[in-house]
Structure 1
Amino acid sequence: MNPTDFKNTILPYKDKMFRLALRLLNKREEAEDLVQEALIKLWQQHDRLAEVQNLEAWVIRLTKNQCIDRLRGSKNGHKEWKDGLDWADSTPLPDARTESADTMNKLQKLMERLPENQRLVMQLRDVEGMSYQEVAEALDIPLAQVKINLFRARQTMKSILGRGDKKISDHFARGLDK
């Protein structure tokens, strides 16, 4: 794979890689560094990338594994949301953008309460829009386990939201209709 092919096939995944790294590491700077390191690793293996059947799943799995390695290597296990993902609505009105960003921040915090396996599946399926099969390949788990984890994550979120904020509940319900 030449540099142009690499740029055209791998770089489109960098935003997904970053969002996953941010979800796992909870620190923007660490997520940025990790994605950069992952891209370097991918370039070092560019000769073998043509052999990979599902490149997106493989790239996501590489990112996840690097995050896990980094988390295992860190001494402090505390997680902190410094910067949220920019999921704000594209509505030009500032108050609508602020309200949407606030809703997404609340949803992020609720997702943090989920077990890691459910959180990862929900992130890849509902946020990133990956298919069930792609999620299974990316996380290297059976397809049935993906569906179970997603079902449980959604049930937990519905339960939490049923007791809380109506705006968040409505926003979350719209996301599940996909």
Structure 2
Amino acid sequence: MTSSAFQSLILPFRQKLYCFAFRLLGNEEDAKDVVQDAFIRVWNNREKMPELQSLEAWCMRITRNVALDRLKSRKYRITDDLDRAGEVPSVHQTPHQHAEKSDMMRRVHAAIARLPEKYRTVLQLRDMDGLSYQEISDMLEIGLAEVKINLHRARKTVREQLQNLQVYGIQ
């Protein structure tokens, strides 16, 4: 593979890989580093590309592995940046509405952060990145049924945590 082919085939995934790494790590600089390391790994393994069904899924899997390695090696903790990542201020909201929405988003992100890694990853890939079940299955190297089960369990756990918080005030 030539560098121009790499630029045309792989570099368009940069933003998606960055967003994925950012959600896993919760830090801008670390997410940029992870994407850079992932691109290096992709380049070093470019001879495998003709065998692949989905280059995007392969790149996402490499990014995930690099991010998880970073989490494990540094005992990394998700920061408040994750809570702010999904918030987009609206000009049509009153301060009270904005505060309620921000509080709810903080609770949702906290509930997602408490999920086991396999549930959190599937939930993020499906509901935040919009990947298909098959793409997630290929990326994580798990069966399609396991993807659906993990997604169902993740959604159910988040829903129960939010309901418990609403009804009982407990997390």
Question: Which is helix-richer, 1 or 2?
Answer: 2
**Max Rg structure:** 2
- CA-CA distance at 1:38 after TM superposition: 1.1
**What is aligned with 2:57?**
57
- CA-CA distance at 1:93 after TM superposition: 4.2
CA contact (8 A) 1:88 1:98 kept: no
Q: Give distance in 2, aligned partners of 1:108 and 1:133.
A: 25
2:18 matches 1:23:
no
Q: Which amino acid aligns with 2:79?
A: W
Q: Provide closer, same or farther for how the CA distance between residues 2 and 118 of structure 1 changes in structure 2, counting only shifts above 3 A.
A: same
**What is aligned with 1:33?**
33
CA contact (8 A) 1:17 1:35 kept: yes
Q: Which amino acid aligns with 2:10?
A: I
**What is aligned with 1:42?**
42
Q: Give distance in 1, aligned partners of 2:16 and 2:99.
A: 23
- CA-CA distance at 1:158 after TM superposition: 1.1
- CA-CA distance at 1:103 after TM superposition: 4.0
Q: Provide closer, same or farther for how the CA distance between residues 157 and 147 of structure 1 changes in structure 2, counting only shifts above 3 A.
A: same
Q: Give distance in 2, aligned partners of 1:11 and 1:99.
A: 38
Equivalences for residues 82-121 of structure 1 within 5 A: 82-84=80-82, 86-89=85-88, 91-93=90-92, 103-121=104-122
2:69 matches 1:69:
yes
Q: Which amino acid aligns with 2:123?
A: M
Q: Give distance in 2, aligned partners of 1:98 and 1:50.
A: 50
What's the Cα RMSD here?
2.7
Q: Give distance in 2, aligned partners of 1:90 and 1:50.
A: 44
Q: Give distance in 2, aligned partners of 1:120 and 1:82.
A: 18
Q: Give distance in 2, aligned partners of 1:115 and 1:4.
A: 39
Q: Provide closer, same or farther for how the CA distance between residues 102 and 12 of structure 1 changes in structure 2, counting only shifts above 3 A.
A: farther
**What is aligned with 1:79?**
77
Q: Provide closer, same or farther for how the CA distance between residues 112 and 93 of structure 1 changes in structure 2, counting only shifts above 3 A.
A: same
* 1:30-49 deviation digits (Å, cap 9, x = unpaired): 11111111123223444543
Q: In structure 2, the residue corresponding to 1:163 is in which secondary structure?
A: helix
2:126 matches 1:125:
yes
Q: Give distance in 1, aligned partners of 2:42 and 2:100.
A: 38
CA contact (8 A) 1:136 1:146 kept: yes
Q: In structure 1, the residue corresponding to 2:147 is in which secondary structure?
A: helix
CA contact (8 A) 1:38 1:66 kept: yes
With normalisation by structure 1, the TM-score equals 0.76
CA contact (8 A) 1:86 1:101 kept: no
Ranges in structure 1 where 5+ consecutive residues have no aligned partner:
167-178
Query: Identity across aligned pairs (percent)?
Result: 38
Ranges in structure 2 where 5+ consecutive residues have no aligned partner:
none
